[in-house]
Amino acid sequence: MNKEGRVLIIDDNQSVLDSLKLFLKYKFKEIVTLSNPNQITSLISRQEFDIILLDMNFSAGVNSGNEGLYWLSEIKKRLKDIPVIMITAYGDSELAVKAIKLGAFDFIEKPWNNEKLLATIHAAHELRKSNLKIKKLEKQKTALNQNTFNEAQLIYKSAEMDKIIKTVAKVAKTDANIMILGENGSGKELIAQKIHALSNRKNEVFLTVDMASLSENLFESELFGHTKGSFTDAKEDRIGKFEAANGGTLFLDEIGNLSYMMQAKLLTALQKREITRMGSNTPIPIDIRLVTATNKDINTLISESLFREDLLYRINTVKITLPPLRERTDDIAPLLNHYLYTFSNKYNKPGIKINNKAMEKIISYKWPGNIRELKHTVEKAVILTETNTLTADDFLFDKTSQTDSEFNKPLSLEEAEKIIIKNALDRNNWNISEAAKELKVGRQTLYRKIEKYDI
């Protein structure tokens, strides 16, 4: 039989504690006993229980039940959802009513009937499980209210993308961990969504976490959750992203930005398939499909001791590399037409078209910002146009975001430096520390250059 549930028994009579522990230890996962009620608050703040059995009287010769009622109130102040069963040596209906009003689940008398006692405890445990399920669903709803899965449409025509989608279809049905590599804006999250949509977990949650935005202070709380009081601003229990994504897919974007320390914590969770909330000692099993993505060269990071090789082995059972938009030019026209239709409807300008010269200009452009840059460029053109036909002049590209081909034109030293800095910032998603590291300059130096060139 699969035992579950942790029971705390509080009674000043050691023989009662021993009898109850002996009777219940074959029915429940763990039985903890306590003879001194003054230790109750300390114990329940350190350990989690599913059911509490509480004696009504602890002082010799005192039968009022007030001690039990007092400790019941103290427990309920701290643990509202834990069923508490009161134990007394004599029957008193008025005392029972008081206990129920204070939040007791039920009331049993000594000497107890084993079958009745077990039925009462099992009923309390079912209530506890139901409360936990409701609480978890409420927390999942809160954690997911900004992460509702809405699979975006994949627009493509190229042979390169067709090959990638066929690979996605093969691996999606498995639970293999997948790493997606590609430049910023190339559609890594769309591929992650497609993996989820084709998987056996498609009816469960798809949750995205931007690892580049997590500081070391927030990492554990955000991914693993925390308990009330575990740190200064922890005003209530909070479910982490691993728990929120349980049963579904967890997409960790820009995983190459994680510090070595955070990588170690992530690796431990993945190896054990469990997490522990900050402030708690209770491990929580996790069941997720893991998909990760990065725009960085992971092998270079490993060679520079910036990324753990053992973590890489854990997360890249299957590796998918997305080519940049400039290497799949067959996708540019269908993507442009899709965004043209989308934004002309959004801004109430239906029927906007694009002429041939404008199309030629768009296809010949190198798109360093990939699909994201194309999307924003089309949106800007639709917003600013005063006609129904977009021309080449309606598409203005930021010259500082051009690819290496820009360096073939005559440039001053300052113009070249501006392009180099802008490209580094774009590659690192405007993470100043990472861009400065790539350029081999200090953060303050990079800030001064950004201000100087008005980037």
pLDDT, one tens digit per residue, over 44-87 is 888 889 999 998 887 654 556 688 889 999 999 888 888 999 88
Tell me the pLDDT tens digit for each residue of 223-272.
998 888 888 777 888 888 999 999 999 999 999 989 899 999 999 999 99
CA–CA gap between residue 144 and residue 192 (Å, rounded): 17
Q: Inform me whether the pLDDT recorded for 149 exceeds 70.
A: no
Rounded Cα distance between 147 and 143, Å, is: 8
Q: Give every strand in the sheet of 249-253, ordered side by side.
A: 206-210, 249-253, 289-294, 178-181, 318-321
pLDDT, mean over the chain? 86
Which CATH architecture does the domain made up of 159-321 adopt? 3-Layer(aba) Sandwich (3.40)
> Which DSSP letter does residue 257 get?
G
Is the Cβ–Cβ distance between 70 and 95 less than 8 Å?
Answer: no
User: Tell me, which fold does domain 6-142 have in CATH?
Assistant: Rossmann fold (3.40.50)
In the chain, CATH 3.40.50.2300 sits at 6-142
Does domain 404-453 fall under CATH 1.10.10.60? My reply is yes
Q: Pick from 213, 221, 199: which is nearest to 291 by CA?
A: 199
Predicted confidence band at 92 (pLDDT cuts at 50, 70, 90)? low
Report the C-alpha gap between 225 and 139 in whole angstroms.
11
Planar angle of CA 128, 129, 135, nearest 5 degrees: 90
| Per-residue pLDDT tens digits for 264-313 | 999 999 999 999 999 888 899 999 999 999 999 998 999 989 999 999 99
Q: Which two tokens stand for residue 413?
A: 């030293």
Which residues, other chains included, contact 144 with Cβ-Cβ below 8 Å and sequence gap of 6+? 205, 207, 244
- Placement of tokens 């509490």 in the chain: 52
Buried b (16+ CB within 10 A) or exposed e, 365-402: bbbbbbbebbbebbbebbeebeeeebeeebbebeebbb
Of the two residues 3 and 32, the one the predictor is more confident about is 32
Cα gap 250→243, rounded to integer Å: 10
Could you please state the CATH topology (level 3) that the domain comprising 329-397 is classified under: Helicase, Ruva Protein; domain 3 (1.10.8)
Rounded Cα distance between 205 and 208, Å, is 10
Does the CA dihedral 99-101-102-106 come out positive or negative? positive
pTM for this one? 0.61
